[in-house]
């Protein structure tokens, strides 16, 4: 498949360097124009543009924050009853709408194995409302609701594992820094039926305290450090790791972002241990031979 | 064909006859009989519809918002806590101009847990932009549910068909269930004015800044303003096909009445009997049943109560810190008239307590024998309580 077609116009109102805008552009290239999209409240509620403009060349239903799974179920049901099983119905939600307030509706939709693809573009906090912590915010981050010495000392929720526990046909992670991997996964998901989930790491220069030109570099480093591994999980049991990095240490990734600048060497060492633990756990699940622990 | 069915199944039969395409619902007593019957119809092929068994009422409404935006006829049913959980999306459905129809079985809000009838659940949704129709008996429930789709699709606004818990939802009555051809003549397939469309891709419900938002809201009110006129025209068409109509309001012996009792829902049926007995005793009493609550038919109420000296409103609902909700609305409708009846508000039957003929008669005599209302509401049928507040 060639990816020459554009389904996202210039003139969107995302911040400079917005990872979520990059993610949308890549994903639509792979989805094509036979796509209907549900967008619950998230940065993209704004990025898509105010009435009467829209930056997307596909039909879009903007809906309430916690309804991504349910509203898409309804769009799909209507499409099915009209006899059209060809159109792809997708939800495009942020981490707050996926990990937190929309989790119930998402769990309900995938338990019913609704025939749709749910995309979560993850910028690791409530960015649209001014960088408040979500359950996707990583250990160590300062946000506007975890300020000063109250920086987040809790792990990021593992959303792919939670979706895998529903035994859905396909769940995967992807990154804006690995567009071919991302678009390949979108095409693969599109070729399947039932509930499919793609979790896209989407840098946020505004919320993470870094220059806008760092978006792709930081997203790449998240994969290279095993902070955000690229993998697929089919039927909740079959793991495939798509990229095995050389084992970069997490320090550099953390030093480049304002949200982590308060962390001490000791904190970073603890974070390195957690990252190693998660990576080894993933490798064991994927049946890898070289357990690095 | 005349059948003996319960109020809940009057809704189910109407939804089947309306050829609804997507149903989404979550269980809550006393609404469940409605959707159980519909899920049977979807399972056995009686209906060609998708039934979404969602994980909450909030998702039930969200799914219908998705389906209705995609251009199909939609239905759900709920009650009490479930309706309250939907609240955010009730605003969404009307703001998005979606013709979703819901059957709402009036049930008291917890705590304490109470599954019996009271109207506070639906009246708390007064300002969400839904048309609200309160029904009295099984036939009216069936007819109103069919009509609700016509009304909703013409207005591009959602419609709530409301029935009392148990007194109506679980009571068996003879109901004429019309044939499919007649209903098809009255209610043709849904022709959406807008929908998700691959050929003409649009964005719906997006960011609406101050320069456009207010006009969007004004458009909803302009649609509401046409609802009563359309309702009457629609009922005329309905009567031509089915030989009956129920009216947005029904005035019974109001022309010469000195005291008019105003009721909604099943209390009206009991009041009809009380009215007959009082009239036999020579009392100049009338009864006004309000079916359409939103939009509020203020003009009709002003006209129909013009000759009365006193109005007694029976509210099976309450707004804490104020009064019964119908009484509030009726006072507001009358306040600018030069001469107007005194309005007596009575609160009765909360949480499913019986409103017996004796209670209604007591309300009548209290009203007749009083020179002026003593407060905004009088609670009737209260037990003596020994504890302090």
Before A221, cis peptide (omega within 30)?
A: no
Residues of B with CB under 8 A from a CB of A: 21-22, 24, 48-50, 52-56, 58-60, 62-72, 74, 88-89, 92, 196-198, 201-209, 212
What is residue A246's predicted lDDT score, i.e. its pLDDT? 87
Residue B188 CB: number of other CB atoms within 10 A? 10
In degrees to the nearest 10, what's the CA dihedral of A28, A30, A34, A35? -50
Average pLDDT over chain A, rounded to an integer: 96
Helix (H, G, I), strand (E, B) or coil at B74: strand
Is the pLDDT reported for residue B385 higher than 80? no
User: Counting beta carbons within 10 angstroms of the beta carbon of residue B237, is it exposed (0 to 12), middle (13 to 18) or buried (19 or more)?
Assistant: middle
b/e sequence A61-90, b meaning 16+ C-beta within 10 Å: bbbbbbbbbbbbbbbbbbbbbeeeeebbbb
Q: What are the pLDDT digits (tens) for A108-147? A: 999 999 999 999 999 999 999 999 999 999 999 999 999 9
Question: Which domains, and CATH codes, for chain B?
Answer: 2-242 (3.40.50.970), 251-379 (3.40.50.920)
Residue A205 CB: number of other CB atoms within 10 A? 21
Average pLDDT rounded to a whole number, residues B179-201? 98
Query: For residue A289, what pLDDT band results from cuts at 50, 70 and 90?
Result: very low
What is residue A292's predicted lDDT score, i.e. its pLDDT? 47
Is the pLDDT reported for residue A293 higher than 50? no
Is the pLDDT reported for residue B123 higher than 90? yes
Whole-Å CA distances, B376 to A25, B122, B348: 60, 21, 14
Question: Do A70 and B66 count as a contact with CB atoms less than 8 A apart?
Answer: yes
Structure tokens at B84: 């309250």
Q: Which of B56, B65, B71 sits opposite A71 (nearest CB)?
A: B65
CB B359 within 8 A of CB B381: yes
The total of structural domains in chain A comes to: 1
Question: Do A64 and B62 count as a contact with CB atoms less than 8 A apart?
Answer: yes
What is residue B254's predicted lDDT score, i.e. its pLDDT? 97
Question: Do A59 and B198 count as a contact with CB atoms less than 8 A apart?
Answer: yes
CB A70 within 8 A of CB A114: no
Rounded distance between C-alpha atoms, residue B365 and residue B141, angstroms? 31
In a domain, A108, yes or no: yes
Whole-Å CA distances, A186 to A1, A84, B209: 12, 20, 34
CB A286 within 8 A of CB A240: yes
- What is A223-284 written as a DSSP string? HHTTSS--EEEETTTEEEE--------SHHHHHT-GGGTT--HHHHHHHHHHHHHHHHHHHH
Residue A6 CB: number of other CB atoms within 10 A? 11
Residues in A touching B204 (Cβ below 8 Å): 59-62
Question: Do B59 and A108 count as a contact with CB atoms less than 8 A apart?
Answer: yes
Structure tokens at B44: 């056995």
Rounded distance between C-alpha atoms, residue A162 and residue A193, angstroms? 19
Is the pLDDT reported for residue B264 higher than 50? yes
Q: Which of A33, A54, A82 sits opposite B203 (nearest CB)?
A: A54
Residues in B touching A76 (Cβ below 8 Å): 66
Average pLDDT over chain B, rounded to an integer: 97
In a domain, A122, yes or no: yes
What is residue A2's predicted lDDT score, i.e. its pLDDT? 83
Rounded distance between C-alpha atoms, residue A123 and residue A191, angstroms? 27
The domain containing residue A67 runs over which residues?
A: 19-285
Query: For residue B374, what pLDDT band results from cuts at 50, 70 and 90?
Result: very high
In a domain, A227, yes or no: yes
Instruction: Please provide the size of chain B in residues.
Output: 389
Could you give the residue ranges of the DSSP H alpha helices within chain B? Answer: 7-17, 32-43, 57-69, 80-85, 87-95, 120-123, 138-155, 180-186, 210-242, 267-280, 298-304, 325-334, 357-368
Name residue, tokens 């594992």.
A161
Q: Which of B49, B50, B203 sits opposite A62 (nearest CB)?
A: B203
When mean pLDDT is compared across A279-293, B307-321, B328-342, the lowest value belongs to A279-293
In a domain, A186, yes or no: yes
Q: Which of B22, B62, B212 sits opposite A81 (nearest CB)?
A: B22
With CA atoms as reference, the chain A residue closest to B75 would be A74
Is the pLDDT reported for residue A21 higher than 60? yes
For position A60, which CATH number holds? 3.40.50.970
Q: ipTM for the complex?
A: 0.96
Question: Do B69 and A72 count as a contact with CB atoms less than 8 A apart?
Answer: no
Q: What are the pLDDT digits (tens) for B133-186? A: 999 999 999 999 999 999 999 999 999 999 999 999 999 999 999 999 999 999
In a domain, A3, yes or no: no
Average pLDDT rounded to a whole number, residues A199-211? 98
In a domain, A14, yes or no: no
Q: Which of A46, A61, A81 sits opposite B205 (nearest CB)?
A: A61
Residue B232 CB: number of other CB atoms within 10 A? 12
What is residue A247's predicted lDDT score, i.e. its pLDDT? 78
In chain B, what are the helix, strand and coil shares in percent, each to the nearest 5?
40, 20, 40
Average pLDDT rounded to a whole number, residues B19-43? 98
Is the pLDDT reported for residue B249 higher than 70? yes
Rounded to two decimals, what is the model's pTM? Answer: 0.97
Rounded distance between C-alpha atoms, residue A200 and residue A209, angstroms? 20
What is residue A291's predicted lDDT score, i.e. its pLDDT? 46
Q: Which of B70, B72, B203 sits opposite A56 (nearest CB)?
A: B203
Question: Do B24 and A78 count as a contact with CB atoms less than 8 A apart?
Answer: no
Helix (H, G, I), strand (E, B) or coil at A105: helix
Average pLDDT rounded to a whole number, residues A157-176? 98
Before A52, cis peptide (omega within 30)?
A: yes
Residues in B touching A54 (Cβ below 8 Å): 201-203, 206
What is residue B389's predicted lDDT score, i.e. its pLDDT? 58
CA distance A93 to chain B (A): 15
What is residue B165's predicted lDDT score, i.e. its pLDDT? 98
Residues in B touching A59 (Cβ below 8 Å): 196-198, 201-204
In a domain, A60, yes or no: yes
Is the pLDDT reported for residue B215 higher than 70? yes
Rounded distance between C-alpha atoms, residue B351 and residue B120, angstroms? 10
What is residue B368's predicted lDDT score, i.e. its pLDDT? 98
Question: Do A73 and B72 count as a contact with CB atoms less than 8 A apart?
Answer: no
What is residue B384's predicted lDDT score, i.e. its pLDDT? 79
Query: For residue B388, what pLDDT band results from cuts at 50, 70 and 90?
Result: low
Residues of A with CB under 8 A from a CB of B: 33-34, 36, 38, 45-46, 48-52, 54, 56-64, 66-67, 69-82, 87, 104-105, 107-109, 111-112
With CA atoms as reference, the chain B residue closest to A82 would be B72
In a domain, A6, yes or no: no
How many Cα atoms within 13 Å fall on the side-chain side of residue B319?
15
Question: Do B212 and A72 count as a contact with CB atoms less than 8 A apart?
Answer: no
CB A118 within 8 A of CB A106: yes
């Amino acid at each position: 498949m060639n990816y020459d077609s554009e389904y996202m116009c210039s003139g969107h109102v995302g911040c400079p360097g917005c990872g979520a805008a990059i993610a949308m552009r890549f994903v639509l290239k792979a989805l094509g124009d036979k796509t209907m999209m549900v967008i619950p409240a998230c940065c993209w509620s704004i990025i898509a543009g105010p009435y009467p403009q829209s930056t997307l060349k596909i039909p879009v239903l903007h809906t309430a924050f916690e309804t991504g799974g349910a509203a898409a179920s309804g769009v799909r049901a209507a499409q099915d009853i009209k006899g059209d099983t060809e159109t792809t119905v997708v939800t495009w939600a942020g981490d707050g709408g996926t990990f937190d307030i929309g989790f119930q509706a998402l769990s309900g939709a995938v338990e019913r194995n609704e025939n749709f693809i749910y995309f979560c573009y993850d910028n690791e906090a409530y960015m649209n409302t001014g960088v408040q912590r979500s359950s996707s915010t990583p250990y160590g981050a300062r946000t506007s609701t975890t300020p000063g010495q109250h920086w987040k000392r809790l792990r990021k929720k593992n959303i792919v594992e939670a979706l895998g526990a529903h035994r859905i046909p396909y769940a995967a992670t992807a990154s804006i820094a690995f567009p071919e991997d991302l678009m390949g996964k979108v095409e693969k998901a599109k070729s399947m039926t039932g509930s499919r989930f793609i979790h896209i790491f989407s840098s946020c220069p505004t919320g993470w305290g870094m220059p806008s030109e760092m978006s792709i570099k930081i997203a790449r480093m998240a994969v290279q450090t095993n902070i955000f591994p690229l993998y697929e999980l089919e039927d909740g049991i079959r793991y495939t790791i798509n990229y095995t990095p050389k084992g970069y240490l997490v320090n550099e990734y953390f030093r480049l972002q304002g949200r982590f600048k308060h962390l001490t060497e000791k904190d970073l060492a603890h974070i390195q241990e957690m990252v190693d633990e998660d990576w080894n756990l993933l490798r064991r699940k994927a049946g890898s031979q070289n357990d690095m622990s | 064909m005349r059948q003996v069915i319960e109020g809940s199944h009057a809704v189910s039969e109407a939804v089947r006859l309306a050829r609804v395409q997507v149903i989404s619902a979550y269980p809550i007593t006393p609404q469940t009989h409605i959707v159980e019957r519909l899920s049977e119809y979807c399972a056995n092929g009686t209906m060609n519809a998708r039934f979404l068994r969602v994980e909450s009422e909030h998702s039930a409404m969200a799914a219908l918002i998705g389906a209705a935006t995609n251009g199909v006829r939609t239905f759900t049913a709920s009650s009490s806590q479930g309706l309250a959980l939907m609240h955010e999306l009730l605003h969404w459905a009307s703001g998005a101009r979606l013709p979703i129809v819901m059957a709402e079985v009036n049930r008291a809000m917890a705590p304490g847990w109470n599954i019996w009838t009271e109207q506070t659940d639906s009246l708390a949704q007064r300002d969400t932009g839904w048309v609200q129709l309160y029904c009295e008996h099984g036939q009216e429930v069936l007819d109103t549910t069919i009509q609700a789709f016509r009304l909703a699709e013409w207005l591009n606004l959602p419609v709530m068909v409301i029935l009392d818990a148990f007194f109506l939802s679980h009571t068996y009555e003879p109901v004429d269930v019309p044939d499919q051809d007649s209903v098809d003549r009255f209610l043709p397939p849904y022709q959406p004015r807008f929908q998700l469309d691959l050929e003409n891709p649009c964005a719906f419900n997006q960011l609406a800044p101050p320069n456009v938002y207010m006009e969007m809201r004004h458009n909803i009110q302009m649609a509401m303003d046409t609802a009563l006129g359309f309702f009457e025209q629609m009922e005329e068409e309905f009567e031509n096909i089915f030989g009956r109509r129920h009216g947005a309001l029904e005035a019974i012996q109001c022309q010469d009445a000195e005291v008019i009792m105003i009721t909604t829902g099943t209390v009206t049926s009991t009041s009809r009997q009380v009215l007959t007995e009082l009239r036999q005793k020579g009392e100049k009493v009338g009864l006004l049943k309000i079916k359409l609550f939103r939009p509020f038919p203020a003009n009709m109420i002003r006209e129909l109560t013009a000759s009365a000296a006193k109005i007694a409103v029976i509210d099976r609902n309450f707004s804490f810190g104020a009064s019964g909700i119908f009484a509030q609305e009726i006072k507001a409708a009358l306040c600018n008239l030069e001469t107007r009846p005194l309005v007596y508000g009575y609160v009765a039957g909360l949480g499913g307590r019986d409103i017996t003929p004796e209670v209604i008669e007591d309300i009548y005599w209290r009203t007749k024998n009083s020179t002026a209302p003593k407060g905004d509401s009088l609670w009737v049928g209260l037990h003596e309580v020994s504890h302090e507040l």
